[in-house]
Amino acid sequence: MDLRTTYLGFRLSNPFMPGASPLVDDLDMVRRLEDAGASAIVMHSLFQEQHPGSAGGSASGRGAVPVTDFALDPAQYLEQIRRIKAAVAVPVIASLNGTMVESWLEWARSIEEAGADALELNIYYLAADPLESSAEVDRRVVHIARRVRSLVSIPVAVKLSVFISGVAHLANELDTLGVSGLVLFNRFYQPDIDIESRRVVPRLRLSDSSELLLRLRWLAILSPQVRCGLAVSGGVHTVEDAVKALMAGASAIQVVSCLLQKGPEYLIPLREGLARWLEANGHDRLDGIQGSLNHRLCADPGEFERANYTRILQGPRETREG
C-alpha cells in the first residue's frame, strides 16, 4: 500500500508525524517515534518570551514567563536540532512561537543553520486590544511570515489560529506570499479561575476526536483554494479520524495527545489501520482519497457552510413532525 504524501516539498512515507510537543526533548523518544513510522519530526517551539528583548509578549509587558520555565534555552534548542538531525533520517521541522519583538525572528536563520529542514511558525495571538482591527491582526501574521521567508531558504509553514475573522482570506494571503504549508489549527489552552485563591490558573486538557470537526470544515474549504500543503493538528485519535482529515484535503497529520496517552508506538496501528482501510475500500494509494470530499468536490458544498448549521438547528424530521 502506497501511503506516501507530499508536505512542505518533502515526499514523506506516510502522513503521520508528531506535532509540536515536549516529546522531542528526549532523543530516545525521537528514535522511537521514527522507528514507529513518524514521517517527520516536529519540534516544540522556541518562544519569543525567551528573547532578551521580550517583555512577556505583550505591549504592556504583562504575563512574562521566566526564562527558567522553558525546557530548552535558545542555545540548547539549536543544539537539540543538531542532535535530532544526527539521530534520524526523516525531515526535522523546527518551530518559532510569538507575535512581537522583531529581533526574535532572527532566530529563524540560526534554526536553519543548525540543520532544520523546515520551520513552522506558530503565531499564537489573542486579539484582545479593542483598538486593533481584524485587518491589522492579519497584517501582523503576514508580516511575520514574509520576514521569516526573507531570512531562510528552507520551507516555512504557518500554524493558524481559528480565532481569525477571515480564515480563507488570510490563508490565501499566505499562500500568495509563498509559504509552503498551513497547519490547522493551534490550540488555545483556556485559563481557568480558582475561586478559592482568586487566581487565574492554567488548565491543560488533551484533545479528543470532537476537536477534529472544526478542522475538517476548514481543510475542506481551503484545500481547493490554496497551493500549499495543509496539515491537520488537533483531534486525530483514530484511523477513522485520519481518513476524514485526508478526505477533507490534509497532506499531513500531526498527532500529540494520542501519543502522550498511548506512547509513540501508537503510530504503528494508525499507519497499519489506514493501509487496511484503503485496501478494504478499493484504493492502493493514499492520494486516491486525498481531497475527495473537499469543498469543490463534495456533492453538497453547502454542508461546509450554512446548510449543516441550519439542518441541525431544525432537528430531525421525525422530531418536528412528532
| pLDDT score of 162 | 84
Q: What is the pLDDT of residues 125-137, one digit of tens each?
A: 777 889 899 899 9
93 vs 144: CA distance, rounded Å: 18
Per-domain residue ranges for the chain?
5-321
Q: What single DSSP character describes residue 2?
A: B
| pLDDT number for residue 52 | 83
In the predicted structure, residue 185 carries a pLDDT above the cut 50: yes
Cβ contact 58:108 at 8 Å: no
Rounded (10°) angle between helices 134-151 and 167-177: 20
Integer Cα distance of 18 and 267 in angstroms: 9
Q: What is the pLDDT of residues 2-25, one digit of tens each?
A: 999 999 999 999 999 999 999 999
pLDDT tens digit string along 186-202? 876 678 898 999 998 88
Identify the CATH number of the domain defined by range 5-321: 3.20.20.70
pLDDT at 305 over 70: no
Res. 225 pLDDT band, cuts 50 70 90: very high
Whether the predicted pLDDT of 62 surpasses 80: no
pTM of the model: 0.88
pLDDT for the residue numbered 59 = 38
Please give the Cα distance from 157 to 182 (Å, whole number).
5
Q: Using CA atoms, how far apart are residues 228 and 181, in angstroms rounded to an integer?
A: 5
Q: Looking at 120-134, 182-196, 288-302, which range is the least confident one?
A: 288-302
- pLDDT surpassing 80 at residue 302: no
What percent of the chain lies above the pLDDT cut of 90?
70
For residue 77, give every residue at least 6 positions away whose Cβ sits within 8 Å of its Cβ, in sequence order, or none: 43, 46, 94
Pick the closest to residue 287 from 274, 301, 296 (CA basis): 274
